[in-house]
Structures are given as structure tokens and as C-alpha cells.
Homo-oligomer: A and B are copies of this chain.
Amino acid sequence: MVPMEPTYTRPGEPTDGPLTFEELQLATRNRGMPLEALRYDVTPVGLHYLLTHFDIPFIASADWRLTISGVENPAELSYEDIRAMPAATLPVTMECAGNGRAKLHPRPISNPWINEAIGTAEWTGTSLWPILERAGLPDSAVELIFTGADPGIQGNVEQFYERSLTLAEARRPEVMLVYEMNGRPLEPQHGFPVRLIVPGWYGMTSVKWLVSIRTATEPFHGYQMTSYRYRAASGEVGEPVQRMRPRALMIPPGIPDYFSRHRLVQAGRVVLVGRAWSGEGSIDRVEVGVDGSGADATLGPSVGDFAWRPWSFEWDAQPGEHTLSCRATDSAGNTQPTEAPWNAGGFGNNMAQQVPVTVR
């Protein structure tokens, strides 16, 4: 067997085996945020995490239309139509539902994120709900189905990327159709010309390259709905993956070794800094652990109602080997676990980060 050729024949089945060529292909295509970028309130566009299920489609804004159907007044909106609507800018922390997957045992086979599938951007666009009100939702509608322009195959199902939201979720004013990221038109990989943003939820719901919104009279069971579920085993119905679980991450202190990424830190006063967020509430507390013994970090002001909160912690670093960790608690009472919460899809693993360091 040659390890760097396609070898894995059981997608969907977790493994304790070595990393597969297929996972490597996904890791080299998709993009994590190097954790030193936690220093930014707003992540530079080129450092924001990125997961693309299929290929990045390339759509000229002049050719783009958003079809709204299954409504009283079906519509076809242009890029200019969307840009002419009342605009707002909102900082939003977004995380991939698969963040942390590579740390699970056995390891569900998909994009092997360690903990870097995050980013915060300032999105500019217009609220979704007024558009739907003008379109006129029929009384029979219970959900909205959002379709992207990106076709592909997943789980043997040929599809365009599609996700749904209940009307109750879609009604929230912060659910937006956006056309700018950090003050500039979206780069193609982030959904140009227009994408959906659902603050507080994992990223799979914020459909990129949005081309269609249609109503559904019953809950939608498309592939991207049935795959994003917390299941103990692959046959189960499970629970839907929705809001981001709380997570804190720190900037690994000191300097790195290129190969191992192990950190070397100078003894003395070290200010550990990081960010924490939750889609289930505001961040109330971050505990920082040094060799298992924890204390509260100092919290700064959140970057926004739907964006991460900075924290800092002064550490008197003593020479030797140490393990640093951090752990967030949100206003809904959720705390990060210290053991990975396993599920068959590898979603929502918000186990507390651990950073081994050598102090000299």
C-alpha cells in the first residue's frame, strides 16, 4: 500500500487508523485560521476559515439572480436589487461544525480540523425577513430552503448545496443576505455575489453563492440537513447540529518549532490572550488552566452580540514543561467539556484546548 494514494473505501465510517489521503486532500483545499490570528477583533479575509463542500463556483454579479419561489409574489432579485435595500454591518464569529473532529477517537472521516476552523468577519448586507414579507409567505410554509450555486456529490447524492431554516429562525433580524466581508465585496470563496449569514449557528447554515429561496410546507430532509446531526451511530435519527457550542481558544504563547508546532516560552510574566464565543449565549467566564490548576481570565468587551469576546490571563511562567488550557462558560450555563463529546459525524467537538509548552 502506498499511503499517499486514495485508500479509504468507507466514507462515513469512523476509524482509529491513520490519516487518509482523502482527508489530506480536504485539509490542503480547505483553510484553517492560524491561531495567532486570534489577536484580531475582525479576521483578515485571507485568514478566515473556509470550508467548501464542492467547488468554488464563479459567478459574475451581472449574471446572478436570487429566485424566491413558493410565495405569493415570486421574485427574481438582482445584485443591484439586494444592494439597494437597507444595509447593516454585523461582526459575526463563524465556526465549522466539524471543528475539533480530528481529535475524536475513533475519528469520523471528513475534513480533519484540529481547532482552527474559525473566524470573525464584518458582514454587510440586508435582513432576510423583510424580503420574505414582501414576497408573501403562504400560511402553509414552515421552512425556507436555501440553495447555493455549487453542485457536487456527497454520500452518493448528486445535489446543489442546500440547507433549510424554520420561519422562527429566519425571522431573526440578524439573519442576513450579505454582499460584503470586512468592507469589500465578498471574495469568491466566501460566496460572491451574495450569501446567507445565520449568526450564532455553525457555518454550514450560512449558504454561500445563494441563488434560490423557496418555501417548504414540511421540514426539509435534504442531504445537508440529514448529515449535520449529532448521532451516536450512523443509523440513528439524532439531533440537528445548529448553534455553536461554547469554545475558548488561546494564541499559543512563545515561539513555535516549525515541524511539531511545540512552543518555547521565556520564563517570567507571560500574558496569555485569546477569544471565546458561543452560539447559545454570551460568554460569562473563561478559565485558564496551568497544569490542571485553573483560574478565571479577565474578559474584555465582545466584538458584537454575535462575535467572540477577548480574554487575557497573566501567567508567571516557571521553567519546565507545562500544559496550558482554556475553557469557556456561556450565559446559558454551558461549559466546555474536558473530554471530547463523541458523535458519528464528528460535529461540535468543543473539548477544551490544551497547549503544551516548554518554559526556559
Interface residues of A (CB under 8 A from B): 2-4, 6, 11, 16-29, 31-32, 34, 36-37, 39, 44-48, 50, 52-56, 58, 102-105, 107, 109-110, 112-114, 116, 151-154, 158, 187-190, 252, 255-261, 264
CB neighbours of A104 from chain B (8 A): 4
Q: Which residue of chain B has the shortest Cβ distance to A9 in the bound complex?
A: B260
CB neighbours of A20 from chain B (8 A): 19
CB neighbours of A152 from chain B (8 A): 255-258
Leading 9 A-B pairs by shortest Cβ distance: A18-B18, A46-B46, A19-B19, A154-B258, A27-B27, A28-B32, A11-B259, A153-B257, A44-B187
The answer to whether B34 touches A19, judged by C-beta atoms less than 8 angstroms apart, is no
- How long is the Cα–Cα vector from A28 to B55 in the complex, in angstroms? 19
Assuming A48-B46, A55-B34, A188-B44, is B22 touching A3 (CB within 8 A)? Answer: no
Shortest distance in angstroms between A279's beta carbon and chain B's nearest beta carbon? 22
The answer to whether A109 touches B259, judged by C-beta atoms less than 8 angstroms apart, is yes
CB neighbours of A261 from chain B (8 A): 22, 25-26, 29
- How long is the Cα–Cα vector from A16 to B3 in the complex, in angstroms? 7
- How long is the Cα–Cα vector from A30 to B242 in the complex, in angstroms? 28
Shortest distance in angstroms between A94's beta carbon and chain B's nearest beta carbon? 14
- How long is the Cα–Cα vector from A84 to B44 in the complex, in angstroms? 26
Assuming A36-B55, A189-B44, is B2 touching A16 (CB within 8 A)? Answer: yes
The answer to whether A29 touches B28, judged by C-beta atoms less than 8 angstroms apart, is no
